[in-house]
Chain A
Amino acid sequence: MSAMGRVVRSGVARRRVQTVVIALATMMAVTASVLGGSLLAASSGPFDRAFAQQHGAHLTAQFDAARTTAARLMASAGATGVIAAAGPFPTATAAPRDVAAEFDLPPMTIVGRTTPDGEVDHVSLSQGRWVNGPGQIVLSADYPVGPSPLDTDLRFPDLPGQPTLTVVGVARSVGRTADAWASPSDVAALTAPDATGGYQMLYRFAEASTAAHVERGQAAVLALVGSPALLGAQSWLTIKDASEREVALFLPFLVAFGALGLVMSVLVVGTVIAGAVGTATRRIGVLKAIGFTPVQAVRAYVAQALIPATVGIAAGVVAGNLLAIPVLADTDQLYGTTTTGVTWWIDAVVVAGALGMVALTAWAAALRAGRLRTVDAIAVGRTPRPGRGRWAARLTARLPLPRSVSLGLAHPFARPARAAAVLAAIMFGATTVTFAVGVAASLNRVQIAKDHAAADVVIDTFAPPRGTGPAPNTAPRALSADDTAKVTTAIQAQPGTAEYYRVATTQVAVAGMTGFARLDAFTGDASWGGYEMISGRWFTRPGEVTVPSTFLTATGTRIGDSVVLTDHGKAVPVRIVGEVLHPTNNLLVFADAATFAATKPNLTAASYHIRLADGVDVSEYLTGLNSALATSGFTAASEQSTGGSSTIVLLDALAALLTLMLVAVAAMGVLNMVVLDTRERVRDLGIHKALGMTPLQTIAMVIASVLVTGLAGGAIGVTAGVAVHRAVTPAMGDAAGTKLPTSVIDVYQPTMLLLLGLGGLLIAVAGAFLPAGWAARTRTAVALRTE
């Protein structure tokens, strides 16, 4: 073995702790970078990417089988502008029942397809396999069933013979072309006897970037097929818009995480390597003294850093790719996309970047050491360093603290550059945690506010029970006047009712706007019902309305303006009195039902919302109310925020995982610095021990050495985290088409900030703990021999 090889090998072996730290730090950093990079990649135009990958359908058209033929539909692929088409696929709509769970599911559009592939709409399977015969069904990942529906039996009780299909797979069509897929023969069996069958056609157009393009394409298709045959059509732009609105809430959040991960990684790797090589100055001097050229000495040290770093990078790539599986599954769920793991180029860029970064910092640090005159370099380790930060030592010595603590407090001032690196690591860690906690809290509040779920008890007149899945799109069961009276009486008679309101959902036209606006018409005061106001107030009398931000933007109105709603040909002027938090793409109006007494006299309530008097037990109340309601056929249930809960869980899980990782990276940085410090102070530690410092005192000293830095880093980090949150959250709201009320932005309470600030301290202490233990176990006899 060459002299240099031997030096490198012995260097790696002798400095085992340092080597392990380099390997661990690069591993963590690479893991974080792979994840961060993947998040950034996944978050860049998620819909467009997934849509392009799947050759999504620009137009999904539904035809009446009685009015056209498969042959004619097939021929429509030749329409001008159509570059690819798939179909005709037979379709049916039916409502299944989960046999085992005895639970009715929302009605689904089932498409008969023998393969997930094709020229248009390559459906990606996320679980199980495609149908390969009758009796099987593949569910859309967007269809609301549990997370692992494989092998579930779905029965269609409304159809003759009650056909039953078994779920064999879960797949996602980015263009949302179906709720489920089955073999074409099953689709025929799922067609109700009185209904005519349907055909689905999927088209891609040469040009489809605007609504006009898609409409032109649709017209060309209909020219061949005939307009009467068209039952319905869906433009990809509608889905894109909805998806992007939905995603807009989380996208900045995930991007911020990805970016923080990358920054932290660079920081930690840089400081770890520079620190490790920097402490070797004396040894480099010795190598030069015995005849190494400066270049050889530098190369020896670059190699010494690269060996453990390479191991760390390899492990980090593996860990990153493994961790990315659940993370990307989560983002797929959030974005409605499909990914197949980390893109190869992210791995490549991260590996190359990390190796380059390690080599460069090691080279720069070693070069600095190599340039030192040999005598000076040798002297570095031997003579006392020019005493930096002695003022701090003098100052702390006077503090009324145990001496071990005051000794530690002065340490960072002796190595200001190193302390700055520790500070930066802790700061980034604290920023991340603060930001993550804040965004998670904001998103939680948005999701909760979206549900308007402040009531204790709800009677929902929609078919399936609440709490297990989102409300289906079926029309509410028409409440007769008799029903309404029955329910109202039961609620009023039930002891414990504090107040209640009922909501009916219908449509009105907005003068000057095309299409309809959804109208939520209230009877009773609903201002307590979880409607978070952005500005203005909740309506208090007929003729006043409250609207979401989208309505104001779309109609160009402001609070205080009057708008005219038209209903059954009659104009109903209303005044906008408040802007309410309700992320939506559509026009939506909240108003008193009495406003429409003339035009909609028979509004039937979709739901009743009841607030209980203080101290009333919800389950007792429910038992009482439900027995009173028994004859009406409706059930009351306790209110649970349902709509966003799975999203919240997903986001919280993601935030927790990413935060944990970034905190670990930060702690790694601290660990490394403290290891370096401890190594340098091994002689001092020996002296302390010889003078009677106990292991506990030693640990106290080492921990104290990161206290100031930890506190400062925590304070700065928390401030920065709050600032980032302040900047990012409104941007998230804007992207989602809603302003956010201050209650969503002001999520930090003083105690919480204090705790977060102490989090910085915690990172510091966590990072210092191991080396503190090592310091306590220093072999004094050995340490004192080093001179």
Chain B
Amino acid sequence: MTVPAIELHDVTRRYDDGPPALHDTTLSVAPGEAVAILGPSGSGKSTLLNLIAGLDRPSGGTVTVDGVRVDKLNETGSARYRRAKIGMVFQFFNLLDDLTVIDNVVLPAQLSGVTRSAARLRAAELLDALGVARHAAAYPGRLSGGERQRVAVARALMNRPTLLLADEPTGALDTASGEEVKRLFNDLHADGQTIVLVTHDLPLAESCATRTIRLVDGRVVADDVRAVTTGRGR
């Protein structure tokens, strides 16, 4: 059996007040899986994603990603871990407005110590592959929502992450742009990229996820593994 890409064991995340945002969650994701996390607002989806990304720490339980005990990492360790293994995509793109598209994309590589010139080649390839190459020198503010999200995906893929995490990637997009992004994720999954996707967007989940996990009030209430098909919708 291969090492799971993600393994959560009895993970709880409690904030100061109220019930825990995540409650005794145990789950395992295999490499190459595309998992969609569904659930109502406030059910703990983002919390779960942040724990996997090492942006947050569980109040209890263990988080292991690709053999790394994420919950045990210190700040520096978790930054290095994210650089090496995680690519993140957000609802509101979170691009840096004062940097050009290409500079946004090369940033993760540069933070790992790769020079700009060395990183540019891969960045250009990624932008090309994602169909936004002509905007390389533009500033993100000038791009449409769908284009921005592609740039964000390019940036997430820059360091060839083991794991792509996406938090409502289509949440801020119009239908057409949403469709673009959906196709993009399908392609990535087809290429073998392990993906964890938080979404409200049921069609998105259905088209590109091999497995759907449903959260309610911080608990996993359903975990459906579909027969692994093409991952390209039905």
**In the assembled complex, which residues on chain B have CB atoms less than 8 Å from the CB atom of A689?**
55, 79
Contact flag A693-B111 (CB < 8 Å), given A397-B116, A781-B50, A787-B92: yes
Q: Which residues of chain B are near A414, meaning CB under 8 Å? A: 98
- Indicate if the CB atoms of A781 and B83 lie closer than 8 Å: no
Which residue of chain B is the closest to A388 with respect to CB atoms? B98
Q: Report the minimum CB–CB distance from B21 to chain A (whole Å).
A: 11
Interchain CB contact (< 8 A) of B88 among A387, A684, A690: A690
Instruction: Please tell me if A723 contacts chain B, counting CB pairs below 8 Å.
Output: no
Complex: chain A residue closest to B102, CB-CB: A397
Complex Cα–Cα for A383 and B142 (A): 12
Cβ contact within 8 Å between B112 and A692: yes
Min C-beta distance of A698 to chain B, whole Å: 9
Question: Which residues in A have their C-beta under 8 angstroms from that of B113?
Answer: 402
Within 8 A of A (CB), among B50-82: 50, 53, 55-56, 75-76, 79-82
Output the least CB separation between A695 and chain B (Å): 5
Given A397-B99, A697-B111; A781-B94 close (CB under 8 Å): no
Contact B155 A387 (CB under 8 A): no
Contacting residues of chain B (170-208) with chain A, CB-CB under 8 angstroms: none
Does more than half of chain A's interface fall in helix, strand or loop, or is it mixed? Answer: helix
Which A residues are CB-close (under 8 A) to B7? Answer: none
Contacts of A777 in B (CB 8 A): 75
A784 x B94 contact (CB < 8 A) = yes
Chain B, Cβ-Cβ closest to A785: B46
Whether B97 is near chain A, meaning CB under 8 Å from some CB there, is yes
Task: Report yes or no: B103 in contact with A694, Cβ–Cβ below 8 A.
Answer: no
CA distance A398 to B120 in the complex (A): 12
Chain A min CB distance to B45 (Å): 12
List residues of chain A with CB within 8 A of the CB of B53.
690
A679-738 CB contacts (< 8 Å) to partner B: 683-684, 686-697
Asked whether A232 is an interface residue with its Cβ less than 8 Å from the other chain, the reply is no
**B96 contacts partner chain A, Cβ-Cβ < 8 Å:** yes
A389 to B139, CA, bound (A): 13
B141, CB-defined interface residue at 8 Å: yes
- Is A368 at the interface (CB under 8 A from chain B)? no
**Residues of chain A within 8 A of B231, CB atoms compared:** none
Which residues of the partner chain A approach B99 to less than 8 Å between Cβ atoms? Answer: 393, 397
Answer yes or no: B108 CB below 8 A from chain A CBs: yes
> In the complex, how many angstroms separate the beta carbon of A708 from the nearest chain B beta carbon?
16
Query: Smallest distance from the beta carbon of A418 to chain B beta carbons, Å?
Result: 15
One digit per residue, 1 when the CB lies within 8 angstroms of any chain B CB and 0 when it does not, for chain A 123-137 equals 000000000000000
Is the beta-carbon distance between B83 and A692 smaller than 8 angstroms? yes
Report the Cα distance A387→B142, complex, angstroms: 11
List A residues 613-636 near B (Cβ within 8 Å). none
Does B26 make an interface contact (CB < 8 A)?
no
Residue of A nearest to B107 (CB): A691
CB-based contact A690/B98 at 8 Å: no
Query: Does A684 lie within 8 Å of B79, measured CB to CB?
Result: no
Q: State A693–B46 Cα separation when bound (angstroms).
A: 20
**Contacts A387-B141, A694-B79, A780-B55; A393 near B98 (Cβ below 8 A):** yes
- By the criterion CB–CB under 8 Å, are A692 and B108 in contact? yes
Given A387-B97, A394-B100, A398-B116 in contact, is the A781-B79 Cβ separation under 8 Å? no
The one of B76, B108, B141 that contacts A384, using a Cβ cutoff of 8 Å: B141
Known contacts A403-B110, A781-B50: does B139 contact A695 (CB below 8 Å)? no
**Contacts A397-B116, A690-B55, A690-B88; is A387 near B139 (CB within 8 Å)?**
yes
A697 to B76, CA, bound (A): 9
Residue of B91, B94, B155 near A686 (CB, 8 A) is B94
B83 and A390 contact, CB distance less than 8 A? no
| Chain A residues near B88 (CB-CB < 8 A) | 690-691
**What residues on B are CB-neighbors of A683 within 8 Å?**
94
- The residue of chain B having its C-beta at the shortest distance from the C-beta of A393 within the complex is B98
Partner of A693 from B79, B84, B155 at Cβ < 8 Å:
B79
Q: Which residues of A lie under 8 Å from residue B155 when comparing CB positions? A: 691
Contact residues in B for A403 (Cβ distance below 8 Å): 107, 110-111, 116
**With A397-B103, A781-B55, A787-B92 as given contacts, are A694 and B141 in contact (CB-CB < 8 Å)?**
no
Contact flag A691-B97 (CB < 8 Å), given A387-B139, A696-B76: no
Residues of chain A contacted by B108 (CB below 8 angstroms): 691-692
Q: Is A410 an interface residue (CB 8 A)?
A: yes
CA distance A784 to B46 in the complex (A): 11
In the complex, which of the residues B80, B96, B103, B139 contacts A687, with contact meaning CB atoms closer than 8 Å?
A: B96
Is A568 part of the contact surface with B, judged by Cβ < 8 Å?
no
Please give the distance in Å from B187's CB to the nearest CB on chain A: 22
Residue of A at shortest CB range from B139?
A387
A384 to B139 alpha-carbon distance, docked (Å): 11
Asked if B79 and A695 sit within 8 Å, CB to CB, the answer is yes
Q: In the complex, what distance in Å separates the CA atom of A219 from the CA atom of B88?
A: 99
Please give the distance in Å from B205's CB to the nearest CB on chain A: 22
Find out whether the CB atom of A684 lies under 8 angstroms from the CB atom of B75: no
Residues of chain B within 8 A of A303, CB atoms compared? none
1/0 per residue, CB under 8 A from B, across A177-209: the answer is: 000000000000000000000000000000000
Q: Does A14 contact B (CB under 8 A)?
A: no
Q: With the chains together, A400 CA to B110 CA distance in Å?
A: 11
Distance in angstroms from A512 CB to nearest chain B CB is: 78
- From A389, A404, A690, A694, B94 is in contact (CB under 8 Å) with A690
**Interchain CA distance A393-B46 in the complex, whole Å:** 32
Counting chain A CB atoms within 10 Å of each CB, the highest count among B55, B92, B113 belongs to B55
Within 115-140 of B, Cβ neighbours of A (below 8 Å) are at 115-116, 139-140
Q: For B140, what are the chain A residues with a Cβ–Cβ distance below 8 Å?
A: 384
Please, how many angstroms separate the alpha-carbon atoms of A398 and B119 in the complex?
13
Contacts of A385 in B (CB 8 A): 97
Residue A256 at the chain B interface, CB threshold 8 Å: no
The CA of A654 and the CA of B104, in the complex, are separated in Å by 52
- Closest beta carbon of chain A to B227's beta carbon, Å: 34
Instruction: Assess whether A591 is interfacial by the CB under 8 Å rule.
Output: no
Q: Determine the chain A residues whose CB is within 8 A of the CB of B97 once the complex forms.
A: 384-385, 387
Which residue, A383, A389, A693, has most C-beta atoms of chain B within 10 A?
A693
Are A387 and B111 interface neighbours, CB within 8 A? no
Pick the most buried of A383, A387, A686, A697: most chain B CB atoms within 10 A of its CB.
A387
B111:A404 contact, CB within 8 angstroms: yes
**Distance in angstroms between the alpha carbons of A414 and B96 in the assembled complex:** 13
Please judge, given known A-B contacts A387-B139, A403-B110, A403-B111, whether A694 and B76 are in contact too, CB under 8 Å.
yes
Given contacts A383-B141, A691-B88, A776-B75, 15 further A-B contacts (CB under 8 A): A389-B98, A390-B98, A393-B98, A393-B99, A398-B116, A687-B96, A688-B111, A689-B55, A690-B82, A690-B88, A692-B82, A693-B79, A694-B75, A787-B91, A787-B92
| 29 contacts across the A-B interface (CB closer than 8 A) | A384-B97, A393-B103, A400-B115, A403-B116, A414-B98, A684-B96, A686-B94, A687-B95, A687-B96, A688-B107, A689-B55, A690-B55, A690-B88, A690-B90, A691-B88, A691-B108, A691-B111, A692-B81, A692-B82, A692-B83, A692-B86, A693-B111, A696-B76, A780-B55, A781-B46, A781-B47, A781-B50, A785-B46, A787-B92
